[in-house]
C-alpha cells in the first residue's frame, strides 16, 4: 500500500496518461466522463471511488461529467434511490453538468435496434431463455444457431414492432444481435438486446413493455452523450468488444471504454445487493446506519467529504483488484477531524471529586480554546466549582509505579483548570469509592499558573452541577472477518454482534448547543458528532473514530 501511495503522489495514473495523450494529439480538445449509477440502492465507498475518479478527471482536465442514471431495469429501481444518489454526490463536493436518465433514450435505443435489424444484424428469437442458454455453447465449444436466426428483415421488423406494442407475453421473445455463435468471446454469441417485461418503470410508467439489456443501453447512452472516456470496473473488460461492435455497426459517436479495479474495503461489504439484505433483514437500522459503508452512513457517522475524497485520492486507481484497509479511511478522517473538530470533555463512568478547599457556592468560568490545532477555532467557557466528575478509571487506590493519574496523596491537573491533590476517600457500604476528597492549588489555574508545581497527569472532567447526560453510540466493525463476501456460507453469519455499544456520557454543558454539522473530539476518547435521532432533552452522539492511530504508525514504517 505504501508503494502505491508514493507512486500516486508523484506520477499520473493510467487514465490520466491516456487523457493527456488524447489531448496532446488533438484527439479531443476536452473530455466528457459520466458517473452511471443504477438507482437500485444507496451509494457506497466503492461508488465514491468512481465518483472521485470521474469528476476528478474533468476537474483536472477541460471538460465535464454527467450524472446518468442507468435505469433500464424497471423492477429494482426507485426514486428514493435517485434522490439519495444526488444528495450524496453533492455532499461529496461534486457538481454534474447534466442530469440524465438512460430511460430518456428508450426511443433512441429502439431506433438503433431497428437500424441493426434493417442491416441484417439483429433478429427476433422465439426461443425461451432456457433454450437460448442451452444453445450458447461453452468456452471450449461453439454455440448453436437459433432456428429463428435467419428470419427475413421484414418479419423481424414486424415482430419487433409488435413486441413493443405489447402483443406478446413476458419471456416469449427476445431481440438478439446477429454476430456469431462460435465467437471466442461468449458475450459476442448473439447477445440479447431486448426482453419483454410488462413492468411499470419509475420514470416511463407503462409506456414500454420491452426493455434494453445493459450492454445495449450502456454504450449507446455513452455515445448519445458524446462521452469520450467511459470508465467502468474490470468485470466489463469482456464487454468492451461488444461495446465497440455496436458503435461501429451503428456508426455513432466513438466513446471508449476503460476499466479499473473495483475497490473493496475490509471488514465490510460493498455491494448494493448485500447492503440491501442488511437493511431489509434489519441487521442495521437503515441505509444510513452509521456502521454501513454507504456515503449516507459515513455522513451520519461523522465522516467529512474531505476525508472521503482524501481516502479515494490516496488509494488511487489500480488495474488489479485488492482490498483496501479500513484503517486508511480512519486515518484520513482522523487527520481531518484533528484539524477541525472542537474539543469537549465528556466523562463516561463518573466518580465525584469534592474539592474541599474550594468555597461552597462559588463558581467560575474557565475560558478554553476549542481547538489547539486551529487558531481560528475560538474559545468556550467551562464552568468549574467545588464538585466535579472524573472518570472512575482515572483513579486507583493502589497505584503501580509511574501511575500519573489520581491516587491517594497524588496530584494531577484537571484539564484547563487547576491542579488537585487527592486527600481522602469516601466509600459506600459496598466498599466502592463514592467520593474523592481533594484540595486544589488556587495559583495553578491554567493559562495563569504561578504555582511552580509540575504534574505529569492531566485528566478530563465535568462540573457535576452542569453535567449534561448524553447517549453515546460506540461503533465497531460491522463484520468479524476481513472479507465476509469471500467466506463460506451466508456473509451475514459473519456480522460482528458487538458492532454497536451504547453508553451514557456526562458532558460539559456547551454540548447542548451541538448540531449535526458540528464535529467534536471528546478529549482522550475519540471523535464524535451529534446523531439525527437526538431529542432536545437527550442528545445522542456517534463515535466517528477512536483516537488511536495504528495506521499512522504503519505509514511511518513504510516511508
Neighbours of 261 (CB within 10 A): 16
Instruction: Based on the shown chain and the rule CB under 6 A, indicate whether residue 294 belongs to the binding site for ligand ATP.
Output: no
**Min. distance of Cβ 343 from ligand ATP in angstroms?**
35
Question: Interface with ligand ATP by CB under 6 A: which range of 23-31, 170-178, 256-264, 453-461?
Answer: 256-264
Closer residue to ligand ATP in complex, CB, 102/337: 102
Instruction: Based on the shown chain and the rule CB under 6 A, indicate whether residue 38 belongs to the binding site for ligand ATP.
Output: yes
Site size for Mg ion (CB under 5 A): 1
Closer residue to ligand ATP in complex, CB, 237/425: 237
Three cell numbers at 44? 457506497
Instruction: Based on the shown chain and the rule CB under 6 A, indicate whether residue 232 belongs to the binding site for ligand ATP.
Output: yes
Q: Contact with ligand ATP (CB under 6 A): which of 76, 108, 115, 233?
A: 233
- The DSSP output letter for 443 is G
262 given a catalytic annotation: yes
As a dihedral over the C-alpha atoms of residue 223, residue 229, residue 232, residue 233, rounded to 10 degrees, the angle is 150
Give which of ligand ATP, Mg ion, none residue 445 binds (C-beta under 5 to 8 Å, depending on kind): none
**Min. distance of Cβ 362 from ligand ATP in angstroms?**
59
* CA–CA separation, 159 and 62 (whole Å): 46
**Min. distance of Cβ 234 from ligand ATP in angstroms?**
9
Going 14 to 20 to 25 to 31, the CA torsion angle's sign is: positive
**Min. distance of Cβ 272 from Mg ion in angstroms?**
7
Question: Taking the mean position of all CA atoms in its chain, how far away is CA 456?
Answer: 40
Closer residue to ligand ATP in complex, CB, 36/219: 36
Closer residue to ligand ATP in complex, CB, 143/305: 305
**Min. distance of Cβ 328 from Mg ion in angstroms?**
25
The DSSP bridge pattern shows strands 174-177 and 346-347 to be unpaired
Give which of Mg ion, ligand ATP, none residue 270 binds (C-beta under 5 to 8 Å, depending on kind): ligand ATP
Give which of ligand ATP, Mg ion, none residue 305 binds (C-beta under 5 to 8 Å, depending on kind): none
Residues 62-81 that bind ligand ATP (CB under 6 A): 70
Site size for ligand ATP (CB under 6 A): 16
Going 446 to 447 to 449 to 453, the CA torsion angle's sign is: positive
Residues 36-65 that bind Mg ion (CB under 5 A): 38
**Min. distance of Cβ 69 from ligand ATP in angstroms?**
9
Instruction: Based on the shown chain and the rule CB under 6 A, indicate whether residue 46 belongs to the binding site for ligand ATP.
Output: yes
Give which of Mg ion, ligand ATP, none residue 218 binds (C-beta under 5 to 8 Å, depending on kind): none
* CA–CA separation, 313 and 335 (whole Å): 14
Residues, the chain, total? Answer: 559
Cβ contact 128:147 at 8 Å: no
Instruction: Based on the shown chain and the rule CB under 6 A, indicate whether residue 49 belongs to the binding site for ligand ATP.
Output: yes
Give which of Mg ion, ligand ATP, none residue 47 binds (C-beta under 5 to 8 Å, depending on kind): ligand ATP
Cβ contact 392:350 at 8 Å: yes
299 given a catalytic annotation: no
Exactly one of 262, 477, 492, 524 is catalytic; which is it? 262
* CA–CA separation, 475 and 472 (whole Å): 10
Question: Interface with Mg ion by CB under 5 A: which range of 33-41, 42-50, 248-256, 499-507?
Answer: 33-41
* CA–CA separation, 345 and 522 (whole Å): 5
Interaction pattern, residues 142-181, with Mg ion; x per rule: CB under 5 A: ----------------------------------------
SS3 labels along 269-333: CCCHHHHHHHHHCCCCCCCCCCCCCEHHHHHHHCCCHHHHHHHHHHHCCCCCCEEECHHHHHHHH
**Min. distance of Cβ 225 from ligand ATP in angstroms?**
14
CA dist 224 → 100, 196, 302, 470, 497 (Å): 11, 24, 39, 54, 48
Cβ contact 212:246 at 8 Å: no
Q: Which residue is nearest to Mg ion (CB)?
A: 38
**Min. distance of Cβ 82 from Mg ion in angstroms?**
15
Instruction: Based on the shown chain and the rule CB under 6 A, indicate whether residue 239 belongs to the binding site for ligand ATP.
Output: no
Question: Taking the mean position of all CA atoms in its chain, how far away is CA 556?
Answer: 26
* CA–CA separation, 345 and 458 (whole Å): 12
Question: Interface with ligand ATP by CB under 6 A: which range of 34-42, 95-103, 327-335, 453-461?
Answer: 34-42
Going 131 to 132 to 138 to 144, the CA torsion angle's sign is: positive
CA dist 330 → 80, 234, 284, 291, 368 (Å): 29, 27, 21, 13, 28
Exactly one of 164, 195, 240, 272 is catalytic; which is it? 272
**Min. distance of Cβ 154 from Mg ion in angstroms?**
36
Cβ contact 459:438 at 8 Å: no
Cβ contact 482:266 at 8 Å: yes
**Min. distance of Cβ 316 from ligand ATP in angstroms?**
12
Interaction pattern, residues 262-291, with ligand ATP; x per rule: CB under 6 A: xxx-----xxx-------------------
60 given a catalytic annotation: no
Question: Interface with ligand ATP by CB under 6 A: which range of 74-82, 197-205, 257-265, 463-471?
Answer: 257-265
SS3 labels along 225-265: CCCCEEEEEHHHHHHHHHHHHHHHHHCCCCCEEEEECCEEE
Non-local CB neighbours of 86 within 8 Å, separated by 6+ positions? 67, 99
Give which of ligand ATP, Mg ion, none residue 446 binds (C-beta under 5 to 8 Å, depending on kind): none
**Which residues form the interface with ligand ATP (CB under 6 A)?**
36-38, 46-47, 49-50, 70, 232-233, 262-264, 270-272
**Which residues form the interface with Mg ion (CB under 5 A)?**
38
**Residues with catalytic function:** 38, 262, 272
Amino acid at each position: 500500500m505504501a508503494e502505491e501511495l508514493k507512486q500516486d503522489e508523484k506520477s499520473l495514473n493510467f487514465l490520466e496518461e491516456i487523457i493527456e495523450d488524447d489531448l496532446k494529439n488533438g484527439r479531443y480538445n476536452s473530455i466528457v466522463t459520466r458517473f452511471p449509477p443504477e438507482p437500485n440502492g444507496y451509494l457506497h465507498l466503492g461508488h465514491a471511488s468512481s465518483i472521485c475518479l470521474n469528476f476528478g478527471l474533468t476537474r483536472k482536465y477541460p471538460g465535464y461529467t454527467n450524472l446518468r442514471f442507468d435505469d433500464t431495469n424497471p423492477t429494482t429501481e426507485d426514486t428514493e434511490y435517485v434522490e439519495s444518489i444526488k444528495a450524496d454526490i453533492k455532499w461529496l463536493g461534486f457538481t454534474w453538468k447534466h442530469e440524465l436518465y438512460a430511460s430518456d433514450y428508450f426511443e433512441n435505443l429502439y431506433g438503433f435496434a431497428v437500424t441493426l435489424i434493417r442491416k441484417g444484424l439483429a433478429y427476433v428469437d422465439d426461443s425461451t431463455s432456457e433454450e437460448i442458454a442451452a444453445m450458447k455453447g461453452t468456452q471450449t465449444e461453439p454455440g448453436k444457431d437459433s432456428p429463428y436466426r435467419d428470419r427475413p428483415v421484414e418479419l423481424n421488423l414486424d415482430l419487433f414492432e409488435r413486441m413493443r406494442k405489447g402483443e406478446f407475453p413476458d419471456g416469449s421473445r427476445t431481440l438478439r444481435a446477429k454476430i456469431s455463435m462460435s465467437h471466442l468471446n461468449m458475450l459476442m454469441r448473439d447477445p440479447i438486446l431486448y426482453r419483454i417485461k410488462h413492468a411499470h418503470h419509475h420514470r416511463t410508467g407503462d409506456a414500454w413493455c420491452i426493455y434494453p439489456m445493459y450492454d445495449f443501453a450502456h454504450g449507446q447512452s455513452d455515445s448519445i452523450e458524446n462521452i469520450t472516456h467511459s470508465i467502468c470496473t474490470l468485470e466489463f473488460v469482456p464487454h468492451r468488444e461488444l461495446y465497440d461492435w455496436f458503435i461501429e455497426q451503428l456508426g455513432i459517436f466513438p466513446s471508449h471504454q476503460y476499466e479499473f479495479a473495483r475497490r473493496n474495503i475490509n471488514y465490510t461489504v460493498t455491494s448494493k445487493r448485500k447492503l440491501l439484505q442488511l437493511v431489509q433483514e434489519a441487521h442495521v437500522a437503515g441505509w444510513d446506519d452509521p456502521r454501513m459503508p454507504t456515503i449516507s452512513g459515513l455522513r451520519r457517522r461523522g465522516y467529512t467529504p474531505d476525508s472521503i475524497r482524501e481516502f479515494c485520492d490516496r488509494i488511487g486507481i489500480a488495474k488489479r483488484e485488492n482490498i483496501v484497509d479500513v484503517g486508511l479511511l480512519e486515518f484520513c478522517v482522523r487527520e481531518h477531524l484533528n484539524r477541525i473538530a472542537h474539543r469537549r470533555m465528556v466523562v463516561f463512568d463518573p466518580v465525584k471529586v469534592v474539592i474541599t478547599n474550594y468555597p461552597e457556592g462559588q463558581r467560575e468560568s474557565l475560558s478554553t480554546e476549542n481547538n489547539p490545532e486551529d487558531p481560528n477555532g475560538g474559545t468556550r467557557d467551562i464552568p468549574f466549582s467545588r464538585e466535579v466528575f472524573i472518570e472512575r478509571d482515572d483513579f486507583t487506590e493502589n497505584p503501580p509505579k509511574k501511575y500519573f493519574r489520581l491516587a491517594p496523596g497524588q496530584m494531577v491537573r484537571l484539564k484547563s483548570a487547576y491542579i488537585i491533590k487527592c486527600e481522602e476517600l469516601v466509600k459506600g457500604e459496598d466498599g466502592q469509592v463514592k467520593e474523592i476528597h481533594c484540595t486544589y492549588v488556587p495559583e495553578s489555574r491554567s493559562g495563569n499558573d504561578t504555582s511552580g508545581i509540575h504534574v505529569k497527569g492531566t485528566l478530563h472532567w465535568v462540573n457535576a452541577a452542569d453535567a449534561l447526560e448524553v447517549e453515546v453510540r460506540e461503533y465497531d466493525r460491522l463484520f468479524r472477518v476481513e472479507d465476509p463476501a469471500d467466506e463460506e456460507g451466508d456473509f451475514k453469519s459473519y456480522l460482528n454482534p458487538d458492532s454497536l455499544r451504547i453508553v451514557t456520557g456526562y458532558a460539559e454543558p456547551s454540548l447542548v448547543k451541538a448540531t449535526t454539522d458540528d464535529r467534536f473530539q471528546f478529549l482522550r476518547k475519540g471523535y464524535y458528532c451529534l446523531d439525527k435521532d437526538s431529542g432536545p432533552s437527550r442528545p445522542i452522539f456517534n463515535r466517528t473514530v477512536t483516537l488511536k492511530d495504528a495506521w499512522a504508525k504503519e505509514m511511518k514504517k513504510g516511508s
